[in-house]
Chains A and B, each alone.
Chain A
Amino acid sequence: MISKLTVVLALTLCGAMSGACKKDEPKSTRWDDAAAAVASAPAASPSAVAAAPLVPAGGFNKFFPKEGEGGYKRIFAADKEGYAEAKLQKDGKEAAVISIADAERLPFARAKFGGATEKVDGFPAMTIGNNQTSVLVKDRFQVKVSSTTLDHVARKAILATFDLKGLSGTEFK
């Protein structure tokens, strides 16, 4: 039965919460310039046009560590053109986020490996910030382990469980 009823909602939360219900002030201006730069950038830069097509969705999955490898449960979390991601869990808790990204159009992402002093499976490897270890495969694919709980050595060990050579030897169309 649908009947039209008049209901009084007495919302008392404003009185109970200090600072509640006011209009929020602008929260930051830090990103305004960056956003404006993105908005005014040409849709495709000359270097992007010249670059090879990004690896299509689904292309990276088979190079990830196998389910159960290293005692981790692997849960795929994203699969987009040029980017795939999975979470690794141990004892029901997230231990790391692992990813493969196509850096074909991101020269700055590739360039940083010029200073890499370590290797995984023969590919240049390095840490980024406090929580990432990354390897560059075929001077194009960035394979990463991100974790706030695992250290560089543990992250590097996970990187070694990717099929990096398989990724390197694949011609993507």
Chain B
Amino acid sequence: MSESLHAVLEALPQSSLTTHILGALDYLVPGEWRNITVFEEMLKDVTGETDEALIQQVGERALQLYADESNGYQRAVQVYRGIDSASTVAGAAAMANLAGQRFEILSFLTDITPKADTTQSIDAGLKLAGELVGFTLTNGLPGDSVGDFATALVNYGKEERMRLASWLAIDCVLPLGPDFINLILGALDGPLETIQENRVFRFVSEHLPGSVAEQRDTVKRNIEESRGHLESMVSSQGITQEGVLEKVKEYVSFADDKLDLVSAALDLGTNTFEHTGIQTVARRVVQRAYGEI
């Protein structure tokens, strides 16, 4: 039996390294994200209703919608989980350690291999492709402009916008610098085998149509079409390597604050796509349930 929607949402931590990093990045998208990890709170946040019988009705319909696999919501959650877990192996162990050490300054040693720029670039591009897949599974292809994901990105709000800002900050600007789009596109133009062997690709590609070359083209097109909005988000919100590093260091102190090491550590230690992705799916299912009851 699959997990129910309320169980999936409520399994998210109220406080973790991920939530603190997201909190640190709140300055990029002020007021968009609250760490909602209680189903009832999500129901009230989406509907604005106070009548308990109505809340119950919406909640029960949301549980039904999520439980029906054919609606795609469970697969969306799997994708958001996969984007992180594909690149986060040691992270889980490290965070378990963290959870066991309450109120103590905690140090742990871990072997961290900074990613080569090429790998980092490909990972970043593929994570955005994962976002496209997660969005489509959750919302279908809204409107008449089929596949216009770039337009959807512009209208992202709440958890979605936080996730996008976090991806820009942690996966793109921090490790790759302001020219990240060209680096990502350049890396995707490399040998097809390199992409095919990428662990994130192996996960995301299950959900993209066509051959490997066609899938690569989809990933590239996704970046190219979103480019204008992504670059304007970076410039208008002032996402810089220095700014992101400074904020992150308020929450995590690094013995070595070389950018590539900090990026690798954050990649291992956080699961921002999974955390906010589950919140997004829950919000969207609840919104639909509210429309249906």
Contact = CB atoms under 8 A, between A and B. Distances in A.
A83 B291 contact: yes
Interface string A1-36: 111111111111111010111111011101100110
Contacts of A99: 288, 291
B254 A28 contact: no
A173 to B, nearest CB: 19
Given A31-B6, A78-B288, A80-B71, A14 B102 contact: yes
Contacts of B269: 9
Nearest to A43: B68
A51 B57 CA distance: 22
B291 A35 contact: no
A14 B17 CA distance: 9
B64 interface: yes
Interface stretch (A113-121, A141-149, A152-160, A164-172): A141-149
B15 A146 contact: no
A21 B99 CA distance: 5
Interface stretch (B47-55, B125-133, B161-169, B183-191): B47-55
Interface in A79-108: 79-80, 83-87, 94, 97, 99, 101, 103, 106, 108
B59 A31 contact: yes
Interface residues of B, number: 74
B39 A28 contact: yes
A52 interface: no
A97 B15 contact: no
Contact of B292 (A6, A103, A129): A103
Contacts of B16: 21
Nearest to A134: B291
Interface in A49-100: 57-58, 61, 75-80, 83-87, 94, 97, 99
16 contacts: A7-B110, A7-B255, A7-B265, A10-B107, A28-B39, A30-B40, A31-B39, A31-B40, A31-B63, A35-B5, A35-B63, A38-B60, A38-B63, A57-B140, A79-B140, A129-B47
